């Protein structure tokens, strides 16, 4: 069996009892739907011709039977609409959870290649489209097969000529659908692509609204949106044009069947080939087929969208993380923070540039070092390799003598505090964002961490203090305030190794002083690596490393490096 089909079936397994009942009730509802015309046929063709009292009694009993059948029909449909859709929703959550877990397991290189909006569409749109197929396909197919077989069996049983007439009408309708439906699908696909582009542009516009306003380019953006809207309107024009043909034609067929049966049936009655009760039953049976006819149309769209969604989901799930744990990975205990690079070679995929070539370096426990160098030389890469955000191509990185590839990922990263240049805060409160560094921290511990990074005072200036909502990505805070909260998270985490990746590069002088004080306080007793553009922030480092051409070209204290009058002195002179 195809592995993708196996994966699809696996989502049914936890809910197979519900699925079986859903399909069983689908069969019951179909059988009830086709039994009603039979009862009506019996009433109009036989019961009314009995002796009056017997006819009345028979009609009464059959009416009660139909009421009971309708009650059962209602209960079956209620189960299908409630439990059936709930089981589909549970599968949707399972698929979304699988995707979310998979995304969480991916490394930085995966996100270097992917757009967030596209990943979100897999969890939302694709999962939803797939569950439509999972829920609807077995139910609709079973229902349609039963109804069509039963109806045409009945029609051919009573009159083969009449049955062929109606069968021919349905075949012509299906030919019409087969011809027009691909055009509908093509128009729908084009419309979705246009809408997707508009959504992408809209997301980009709203995300970059500050840049737009700073350049006073609002009218340019409005013009772009207007042009996109016109393109979308043209796409809608194509859709509605072809839809009008398709659905009008289908509706014409549905509403014309009863008159066709009436006219043909009248001719058959005149020629004693049918009875009036037969014609009435035929008309009722066509009503039974009307719902499956629309179901087939919808199912075609569901299946197509679902298959596309499923393939996109599986494509994502089949992307393997490049960073994986060794089978024999260990947890580090009582980490002292000795770090060693041994002949490290690294370059990013899809680039020809080597970032490091046989880079070797030792950082002692508790040492405060700084990494400097020109843009693109690999300073941030140096920091990213230690917690295995990326893996070296060759060579080793050791912590306390253990290769980082032999350490469990969670344990490795729990022992490293990382503060990025682009601070990310979650929407929520200040206390929630600080507590992210230690989810089980008490309020007192959070406050103490904030005090250690000189954030307590500005926090208390807010009306709601630590319960202040900071907005998406901390938009209500200044750059310096956000950075201090980020460092407070690391204070709370209390790791033995710290990496500050250009943590002050975009801050004003006052904010920089606060951050510098916070960093130096946090660095006490920890192995600390500071990656900096601003050389003023690293003067107090015990050792400064200058990176160039994939290797360390200079090393020493601030004073020692200035006296060498080399690369560092040149950087410093540019301040």
Q: Find all residues with CB under 8 Å of 103, minimum gap 6, and list them.
A: 119
Do 233 and 132 lie in one domain? The reply is no
Domain CATH number, residue 526? 3.40.50.300
Distance of alpha carbon 566 from alpha carbon 287, whole angstroms? 90
Do 179 and 35 lie in one domain? The reply is no
Do 312 and 347 lie in one domain? The reply is no
**322-339, pLDDT tens digit by residue?**
888 888 889 988 888 899
Mean pLDDT of 343-347: 90
Total domains in the chain come to 3
Do 17 and 152 lie in one domain? The reply is yes
Do 420 and 520 lie in one domain? The reply is yes
Q: For 46-159, where are the alpha helices, taking DSSP H only?
A: 52-79, 85-105, 108-113, 116-121, 127-158
Do 145 and 170 lie in one domain? The reply is no
Do 220 and 138 lie in one domain? The reply is no
Bridge-partner residues for 530, per DSSP? Answer: 370, 500
How much is the pLDDT for 399?
A: 93
Do 164 and 146 lie in one domain? The reply is no
**11-65, pLDDT tens digit by residue?**
888 888 888 888 898 888 888 888 888 888 788 877 777 787 888 888 899 899 9
**Cα-based angle 296, 302, 307 (whole degrees, multiple of 5):** 125
**Cα-based angle 399, 402, 408 (whole degrees, multiple of 5):** 90
560 located within any domain:
yes
How much is the pLDDT for 503?
A: 61
Do 134 and 263 lie in one domain? The reply is no
What single string gives the DSSP state of each residue in 158-222? H-HHHHHHHHHHHHHHHHHHHHHHHHHHHHHHHHHHHHHHHHHHHHHHHHTHHHHHHTT-HHHHH
296 located within any domain:
no
Q: Quick one: which of 438, 412, 439, 370 has its CA closest to 496?
A: 412
Question: Above 80 in pLDDT, residue 303?
Answer: no
Domain CATH number, residue 134? 1.20.1560.10
Residue 12: phi and psi, rounded to 5, are -75, -30
Check: CB of residue 40 under 8 Å from CB of residue 280: yes
How much is the pLDDT for 270?
A: 86
Check: CB of residue 381 under 8 Å from CB of residue 356: yes
Maximum average pLDDT range among 165-179, 391-405, 560-574: 391-405
Mean pLDDT of 495-514: 72
Mean pLDDT of 375-388: 87
Distance of alpha carbon 121 from alpha carbon 62, whole angstroms? 53
Q: Find all residues with CB under 8 Å of 414, minimum gap 6, and list them.
A: 493, 495
Residue 400: CA atoms inside 13 Å, Cβ hemisphere, count?
16
The residue segments making up the domain with residue 138 are: 8-157+302-322
287 located within any domain:
no
Percent of the chain predicted with pLDDT > 70: 92
**159-209, pLDDT tens digit by residue?**
777 777 777 777 887 787 777 777 777 777 777 677 767 766 776 677 677
The encoded tokens of residue 466 equal: 């630590």
Collapsing DSSP states into helix, strand and coil, what is residue 279? helix
Helix axes 160-207, 127-158, angle to 10 degrees: 170
Distance of alpha carbon 99 from alpha carbon 123, whole angstroms? 6
Do 404 and 468 lie in one domain? The reply is yes
The secondary element (H helix, E strand) that includes residue 362 is strand 356-363
Q: Which parts of 423-542 are beta strand (E)? A: 497-501, 527-531
Do 472 and 350 lie in one domain? The reply is yes
510 located within any domain:
yes
Q: Quick one: which of 265, 267, 286 has its CA closest to 277?
A: 265
Distance of alpha carbon 403 from alpha carbon 396, whole angstroms? 6
pLDDT band per the 50, 70, 90 thresholds, residue 105: confident
Do 212 and 356 lie in one domain? The reply is no
């Amino acid at each position: 069996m195809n592995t993708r089909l196996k994966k699809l079936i696996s989502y049914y397994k936890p809910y197979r009892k519900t699925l079986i009942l859903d399909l069983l009730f689908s069969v019951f509802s179909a059988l009830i739907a086709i039994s009603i015309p039979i009862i009506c046929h019996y009433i109009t063709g036989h019961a009314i011709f009995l002796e009056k009292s017997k006819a009345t009694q028979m009609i009464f009993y059959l009416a009660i039977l139909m009421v009971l059948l309708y009650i059962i029909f209602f209960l079956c449909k209620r189960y299908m609409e409630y439990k059936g859709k709930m089981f589909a929703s549970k599968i949707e959550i399972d698929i979304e959870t699988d995707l979310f877990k998979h995304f969480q397991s991916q490394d930085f290189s995966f996100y270097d290649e992917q757009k967030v909006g596209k990943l979100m569409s897999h969890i939302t749109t694709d999962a939803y489209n797939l569950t439509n197929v999972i829920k609807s396909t077995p139910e609709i197919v079973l229902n349609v097969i039963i109804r069509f077989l039963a109806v045409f069996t009945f029609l051919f049983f009573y009159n083969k000529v009449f049955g062929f007439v109606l069968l021919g009408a349905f075949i012509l309708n299906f030919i019409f659908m087969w011809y027009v439906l691909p055009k509908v699908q093509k128009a729908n696909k084009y419309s979705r692509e246009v809408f997707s582009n508009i959504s992408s542009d809209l997301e980009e516009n709203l995300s970059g609204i500050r840049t737009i306003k700073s350049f006073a380019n609002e009218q340019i953006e409005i013009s772009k949106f207007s042009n996109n809207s016109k393109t979308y309107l043209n796409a809608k024009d194509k859709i509605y044009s072809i839809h009008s043909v398709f659905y009008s034609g289908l509706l014409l067929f549905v509403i014309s069947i009863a008159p066709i049966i009436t006219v043909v049936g009248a001719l058959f009655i005149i020629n004693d080939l049918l009875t009036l009760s037969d014609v009435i039953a035929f008309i009722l049976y066509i009503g039974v087929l009307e719902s499956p006819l629309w179901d087939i149309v919808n199912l075609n769209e569901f299946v197509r969208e679902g298959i596309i969604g499923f393939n996109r989901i599986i494509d994502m799930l089949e992307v393997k993380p490049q960073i994986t744990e060794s089978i024999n990975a260990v947890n580090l205990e009582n980490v002292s923070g000795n770090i060693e690079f041994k002949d490290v070679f690294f370059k990013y995929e899809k680039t020809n540039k080597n970032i490091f070539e046989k880079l070797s370096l030792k950082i002692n426990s508790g040492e405060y070092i700084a990494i400097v160098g020109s843009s693109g030389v690999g300073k941030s890469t140096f920091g990213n390799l230690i917690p295995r955000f990326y893996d070296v191509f060759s060579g080793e990185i050791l912590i306390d003598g253990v290769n980082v590839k032999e350490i469990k990922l969670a344990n490795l990263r729990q022992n490293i505090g990382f503060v990025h240049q682009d601070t990310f805060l979650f929407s929520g409160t200040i206390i929630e964002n600080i507590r992210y560094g230690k989810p089980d921290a008490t309020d007192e511990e959070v406050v103490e961490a904030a005090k250690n990074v000189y954030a307590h005072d500005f926090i208390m200036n807010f009306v709601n203090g630590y319960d202040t909502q900071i907005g998406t990505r901390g938009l209500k805070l200044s750059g310096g305030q956000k950075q201090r909260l980020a460092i407070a998270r690391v204070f709370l985490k209390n790791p033995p190794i710290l990496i500050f990746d250009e943590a002050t590069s975009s801050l004003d002088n006052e904010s920089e002083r606060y951050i510098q004080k916070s960093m130096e306080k946090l660095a006490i007793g920890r192995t600390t690596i500071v990656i900096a553009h601003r050389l003023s922030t690293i003067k107090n480092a015990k050792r400064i490393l200058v990176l160039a051409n994939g290797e360390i070209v200079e090393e020493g204290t601030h004073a020692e490096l200035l006296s060498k009058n080399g690369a560092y002195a040149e950087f410093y002179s540019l301040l």
